[in-house]
Amino acid sequence: MSRWMVMGVLSWMAVTTAALSSAQTAQPAIYPPLPNPPPVAAKHGMVVSIEKNASQAGLEMLKDGGNAVDAAVAVGFALAVTYPQAGNIGGGGFMLIRMHNGQSHFVDYREEAPAAASPDMYLDAQKNVVPGMSTATAKAIGIPGTVAGLAYAEKTYGKLGLAKVMAPAIRLATEGYILPEEIASSMATSRALARFPDSKKHFQRDGNPYKAGDRLVQPELAATLKRIAANPDVFYHGDMAEELAAAIQTDGGLITKADLASYKVKDRTPLTSNYRGYQIVTSPPPSSGGITLIEILNILSGYDLHKLGPDRSPAQVHTIVEAFRRAYMDRNEYLGDPDFVKMPLAQLSSPQYATAWRASIDPVKATPSATLVRPAGFLPPPPTSGDTVHESQQTTQFSVVDGEGDAVSNTYTLNGFFGCGALAGNLGFVLNNEMDDFTSKPGVPNMFHLIQGPANAIEPHKRPLSSMTPTIVVKNGRPLLVTGSPGGSTIITTVANDIISVLDNGLNVQQAADAPRFHHQYLPDVVQVDRWFPIPVLQDLRPEGYTTNHDDVADGKDPGVWGDVESIYVDPKSHEILGADDQRHHFGAAAGY
């Protein structure tokens, strides 16, 4: 382990030791299991998202003859209205598309660092990270990619045209929608919004916040969406670009009109691999998700997981955690923006490498991360003298399958709840703090406690490494499982667990989405579990050398809840389409027909 990594672990441990030890000594609360309804079944198409008006927007497109991409773009714009803490036009994301002809595409609309960004931009004169600078100021804003990405996807792979697919979002912004408790309360309590006077006025009505049951009408956002529907290019080149750059600079941000004009969507080739005879189609860099997922599944392919015990049994959890630990060691050191760094992707995903990793896994005992040694002879040495990436708490996933078998898995994000909190002038939306996903300084863990390498250092026009992992599992040429999740560094393990629950353990798609979560990311050397995780399993794991944390705060004010799997399963025999909306949140919908 390199010196910067050791420093990172020590500083993280110092901050969190108290929290971890109290989590282990206190008797954790036992939460009632999630309701776990049967999945929603349909024949012709399915849209799942965390917010039901947005799911309906997608369904409307499918019923009007649109394909999965039309529906996904409609959902993307609708969530920007109805789920403002994560749905966005001020952020960025990834859309994984698999058309029924078998072709797949990865639309990378991740934010980019502005031209004036530099590796040390968040450091003070003593070279210390300035707390909050990469999360809570306008300097945290990356060039937003969502408008370009959704418009590109619609133009290239959709059928209905932007005006049509944006109509539901414009309607929802103009006429308003009824705020559910969770959205109203996160808007009312957001510290990010409170930080910027304009945002505080706009979203929190200066101390008279919206409540559950209120109608949220957003005329400024409606006007912005109408201008985008007429010509999406205004966001990057037109008068809207001017307004946007001016608003960001007024708040002290770096993004210029030239930065916006230079932004380009990248249509990349997805990564593919094989797991137990299923094809995994997943996210390439600048997502770290796909390659890490492949490495995890490659390691696990050497075990008959089901024989070890049922879903979430101690022996399965142990084996899966050891695969997570090893794959994240590689993730954290090697990965970055493929347009800036060379990565040994072929070696990382090779079955021989996975076999070598497996040889280091004890069948019962934890391998302490501090003693873990990467198998020799496979990879070049990782880049040195870099550091960490910061990640935060708001992102959202939606999935679509249409009647032809086209499938879309999309994850997009503002990074933090309401991004950095800054409002885009009079345009009615908030801006991301995605710059925090870069390495701010060697040895300083990020918001998600990830200790990462210099491959992810800040450079002008570079895209920060992401954990977002939209994924499609294919069987016999047809989509079988379309999945993904928010959750920062936990996204990849949530997606892996979802796939394992369905493919190895035979859970249905809803049971898999609702199954208790567990996560390990190499460093810190802690098994993090959500509040539904069975305590006896933890009790079984601890004597084998695991430090566990039962109640980590992962999603803002809701301790012990992280991730939000919004996934679809297509029955390979009956072709019935089954949608699952994660029951951890209460305002989403699987909408099918």
369 is an interface residue for ligand DON by CB under 6 A: no
For ligand DON, the closer of residues 298 and 452 by Cβ is 452
Instruction: Round to whole Å and give the CA distance between 99 and 270.
Output: 13
The piece of 42-50, 51-59, 277-285, 387-395 that touches ligand DON (CB under 6 A) is 387-395
For ligand DON, the closer of residues 59 and 294 by Cβ is 294
Can 395 be counted among the known catalytic residues? yes
Q: Kind of pairing, strands 566-570 and 577-581?
A: antiparallel
49 is an interface residue for ligand DON by CB under 6 A: no
282 is an interface residue for ligand DON by CB under 6 A: no
Q: Length of the chain in residues, anyone?
A: 593
Task: List the interface residues with ligand DON, window 399-438 (CB under 6 A).
Answer: 413, 415, 434, 437
| C-alpha to C-alpha distances, 526 to 87, 155, 287, 444, 531, nearest whole angstrom | 30, 45, 23, 17, 15
For ligand DON, the closer of residues 431 and 577 by Cβ is 431
Q: How far is the CB of 559 from ligand DON (least distance, A)?
A: 14
Classify the C-alpha dihedral 186-189-191-197 as positive or negative: positive
85 is an interface residue for ligand DON by CB under 6 A: no
Q: Which of 82, 388, 395, 548 is catalytic?
A: 395
137 is an interface residue for ligand DON by CB under 6 A: no
For ligand DON, the closer of residues 225 and 296 by Cβ is 296
Show Cβ contacts of residue 92 under 8 Å, excluding neighbours closer than 6 positions. 109, 110, 111, 142, 144, 145, 146, 149, 412, 413, 432, 434
The piece of 9-17, 63-71, 293-301, 480-488 that touches ligand DON (CB under 6 A) is 480-488
Tokens of 122: 């968040």
Pick from 393, 483, 510, 528: which binds ligand DON (CB under 6 A)? 393
391 is an interface residue for ligand DON by CB under 6 A: yes
Site string for ligand DON, 218-257 (x = CB under 6 A): ----------------------------------------
Tell the residue number behind the tokens 């305590």, with chain if given.
535
Q: How far is the CB of 393 from ligand DON (least distance, A)?
A: 5
Q: How far is the CB of 488 from ligand DON (least distance, A)?
A: 4
570 is an interface residue for ligand DON by CB under 6 A: no
For ligand DON, the closer of residues 383 and 470 by Cβ is 470
Pick from 392, 440, 471, 497: which binds ligand DON (CB under 6 A)? 392
Contact between 20 and 549 under an 8 Å Cβ cutoff? The reply is yes
Contact between 566 and 482 under an 8 Å Cβ cutoff? The reply is no
Tokens of 22: 């109290």
For ligand DON, the closer of residues 196 and 417 by Cβ is 417
- The number of angstroms, rounded, from the C-alpha of 211 to the middle of its chain's C-alpha atoms is 27
Find, among 550, 589, 192, 587, the residue nearest to 394 by Cα: 192
Instruction: Round to whole Å and give the CA distance between 399 and 409.
Output: 5
For ligand DON, the closer of residues 467 and 483 by Cβ is 467
Tokens of 469: 């992992």
The piece of 310-318, 391-399, 531-539, 584-592 that touches ligand DON (CB under 6 A) is 391-399
**What is the 3-state secondary structure of 447-477?**
CCCCCCCHHHECCCCCCCCECCCCEEEEECC
Classify the C-alpha dihedral 112-400-280-83 as positive or negative: positive
Pick from 467, 471, 501, 521: which binds ligand DON (CB under 6 A)? 467
Find, among 488, 491, 493, the residue nearest to 433 by Cα: 488
For ligand DON, the closer of residues 253 and 488 by Cβ is 488
Pick from 168, 285, 421, 486: which binds ligand DON (CB under 6 A)? 486
Q: How far is the CB of 253 from ligand DON (least distance, A)?
A: 18
- The 3-state DSSP class for residue 548 equals strand
Judged by phi (left if over 0) then psi (alpha if -120 to 50, else beta), residue 437 lies in alpha
Pick from 114, 145, 270, 487: which binds ligand DON (CB under 6 A)? 487
Pick from 425, 454, 484, 488: which binds ligand DON (CB under 6 A)? 488
Residues identified as active-site: 395
Residues that bind ligand DON (CB under 6 A): 391-395, 413, 415, 434, 437, 466-468, 486-488, 491
